[in-house]
Structure 1
Amino acid sequence: PIIHGCDLMCTFCIIPYRRGRQVSRPVAEVALEVETLVARGVKEVTLLGQTVDAYGYDLPDQPNLADLFTRLNGIDGLERIRFLTSHPKFMTQDIIQAVADLPKVCEHINLPVQAGDDGILDEMRRQYSRAEYVDLVGRIREAMPEVALNTDIIVGFPGETEEQFQQTLDLLSDLRFDKVHCAAYSTRPGTIASRTMDDAVPEDEKTSRRQMVDRLQEKIQTEINARLVGRYEEILVEGRRKGKWQGRTRSNKLVFFEDEAYHQGKLVTIKIERSSPWSLQGTLAVEAKLITQ
């Protein structure tokens, strides 16, 4: 983690009560840890925080996440930098441009929206509107046309009507995320929502709404991943599974391929041959085979 705690008070979240106010680690401290990891052979790091893009606001010199990216991008031997989870309120143009410009920062952003209706967003205390979120996604995609965007959704939040839920479905249809993590709302003792709101949406309705999101997203992911067939993608190999090597693209797509050589921890180029909503299948590019041999 590069940040502990959170200063926001989303009504469904317990983090501020359990982990306290935001505390960012100094840039030099994070850089030293990453340099140590790279010296041990690590090629990819993920910068973690409940609101990772709020990094640095509490530090004396107030560096931001873009400043940290710039520092880490200069570390020899480090190949990839990832980060999560971001909050729309703190996703500044500086951060967007740093992700676009710095070669080691992966074009993959997790940007939870939680709901597509302004009334529900207000009840959640998310501090942005649907229109502001849509504008943010537009600016991200303008800077990085190939960016992979993931999001989180909560269905069945207290008081969510069918019409409000439809607003969420419409948002997902319009923005077409690469991946969506959808959860049905459940009361968490100690949160603002648990103290001030009745969990009024029936459980079977929550389940139905979650399934509708999942079906829609499966269709979207099928279409998005199918466009990658025939392309060559750089993969960082993570290990073997069921007799195949597996790794991830810069955009965090899971890729499987077969090859007899040892590829653990290596960057290889894969030609994508087949796709599914959840993963890609490919073959090792000829150039990569020659280098391995």
Structure 2
Amino acid sequence: MLELEHTTKTHDEARQGEALDMLPTGQSTGRKLYIESYGCQMNFSDSEIVASILLDRGFETTKDYKEADVVFINTCSIRENAEQRVRNRLKEFESAKSKNPGMIVGVLGCMAERLKSKFLEEEKLVDVVVGPDAYRDLPNLIDKVDDGNRAVNVLLSREETYADINPVRLNSNGISAFISIMRGCDNMCSFCVVPFTRGRERSRDAQSIVKEAQDLFNAGYREVTLLGQNVDSYKYSAPAVEGEEPAATVNFAQLLALVADVSPELRVRFSTSHPKDITDEVLYTMARYENICKYIHLPVQSGNSRILDLMNRTYDRAWYMERVDAIRRIIPACGISTDVITGFCTETEEEHQDTLSMMDYVKYDFAYMFAYSERPGTLAAKRYEDDIPEDVKKRRLTEVVNKQQEHSLYRLQGYVGKVHKVLIEGFSKRSDQDYCGRNDQNTMVVFPVDERFKPGQYVHVLAERCTSATLIGKIID
């Protein structure tokens, strides 16, 4: 999965976002749009695409759903708990809709794709249901609702990448931005609903990605995160033209270099890597470029080979450890984070201990950790019994969380006393007397405001101490 922020946390704590006020790019219709996003970074990126499509049709955005004419909630289906939060939020929209009968409420994203038209039957206040590949159809679907109908488009595509759409940067600090480089997923992990909700994997035109990065840099952004369910399998070749030589294929390592070459002042991050696909070529490219951040999110899910096989992860414990060894060898200072699932079908106590020992081997900087949640339609739901009691899942999850807290502190303590290059993102959440930003390893760093420097600039910070999740230091010349 795609991580949301630097911290040790369970997946249930995934953040939500909402659209900010901004000027429309098309001729104004006077109608206001509100978007709320849940789940992974890809959902937040998709909301920016939706906003762009509708602003081009004359909508304006608002951060207050009560004054909106169209309310969209961009959903996550990775856990039952995430879906329940969406249902609860829709009930909160109901009172606003009762006061404004003309309000349109729509569900976008993975949950819309999973439930399809059933959503209209289950949730009577939902007017529009739109899957991740159908956002171009939103103006037409809104017109249908205006005519008194309810509308659904959940068709998946083998071609759609939205490469030609310039995303509207919602909730942007003007410094960091996401760039979607591919859509869908071909990895049929048995626990995961993503291949069914986002369709087959397809890579976006490399030239359009580099152009978006250049445009962002020209607009003052200083950090981009390249997004994909499995960025390491990125591969793009331009369509063949009759009478011409076939276009060269661009792989992920080459794409990384192309984006890094936009400017040495543009930081490049990416998420998410897959252990079966991350290559030494990618690692050497990261090592070669100072502005490619030394941080990799490498989901392990389990430390036991039998469970990994049941999960259809297509690697075993030894393969994963070899990839970690390669990262440590080629990029010694690289930060590594992960995803962990506890209590997968038939997992024994000894197999759970293998996960804990894997955590001891890697000592991750941080992790996303959650107990297994069976998702309808997945291979695991069809093939295996969800036979681990909830109390056992939760107890194992607690052990994983406690272990990760130890390792996060260990990594942070290792950064104390060192100088870190930090991109100032803004003021600290706790005080306007402090700035905050992240170092190469994606660790949050807090330091006193220095009037010589502004958000969007790089500074060197000496880390003097740490909390359980943050480095604290001071700017040095």
Structure 1: which 5+ residue stretches go unaligned?
288-293
Distance (whole Å) between structure 2 residues aligned to residue 14 and residue 59 of structure 1:
30
Q: Does the CA-based 8 Å contact 1:43-1:77 persist in structure 2?
A: no
Q: How far did 1:78 drift? A: 4.1
The reply to whether residue 281 of structure 1 matches residue 472 of structure 2 is yes
For residue 105 of structure 1, give the secondary structure of its aligned residue in structure 2.
coil
Question: Which residue of 2 is the match for residue 22 of structure 1?
Answer: 201
Instruction: Write out aligned runs for 1:1-293 (5 A).
Output: 1-56=180-235, 61-76=248-263, 78-240=265-427, 241-243=429-431, 244-261=434-451, 263-285=454-476, 287=477
Question: Which residue of 1 is the match for residue 76 of structure 2?
Answer: none
Distance (whole Å) between structure 2 residues aligned to residue 6 and residue 58 of structure 1:
18
Scaled by the length of structure 2, the TM-score of the pair is 0.59
Structure 2: which 5+ residue stretches go unaligned?
1-179, 240-247
Distance (whole Å) between structure 2 residues aligned to residue 13 and residue 186 of structure 1:
10
Q: Does the CA-based 8 Å contact 1:233-1:269 persist in structure 2?
A: yes
Deviates more, 1:187-196 or 1:111-120: 187-196
Deviations for 1:144-201, whole angstroms, at most 9, x for unmatched residues?
Answer: 1111011111001111111110000011011111112111100111111112211111
Q: Does the CA-based 8 Å contact 1:5-1:21 persist in structure 2?
A: yes
Q: How far did 1:98 drift? A: 0.7
Q: CA RMSD in A?
A: 1.4
Q: How far did 1:218 drift? A: 0.9
Q: Across the two proteins, how many residue pairs are aligned to each other?
A: 286
Distance (whole Å) between structure 2 residues aligned to residue 27 and residue 78 of structure 1:
20
Q: Say which one has the larger Rg.
A: 2
Distance (whole Å) between structure 1 residues aligned to residue 348 and residue 404 of structure 2:
21
Distance (whole Å) between structure 2 residues aligned to residue 37 and residue 75 of structure 1:
10
Identical aligned residues as a percent = 37
Scaled by the length of structure 1, the TM-score of the pair is 0.94
Q: How far did 1:235 drift? A: 0.6
Deviates more, 1:259-268 or 1:155-164: 259-268
Q: Does the CA-based 8 Å contact 2:217-2:266 persist in structure 1?
A: no
Q: How far did 1:260 drift? A: 4.9
Distance (whole Å) between structure 1 residues aligned to residue 387 and residue 461 of structure 2:
49
Q: Does the CA-based 8 Å contact 2:223-2:266 persist in structure 1?
A: yes
The one-letter amino acid of 1:267's match is Y
Distance (whole Å) between structure 2 residues aligned to residue 212 and residue 66 of structure 1:
36
Distance (whole Å) between structure 1 residues aligned to residue 469 and residue 393 of structure 2:
23
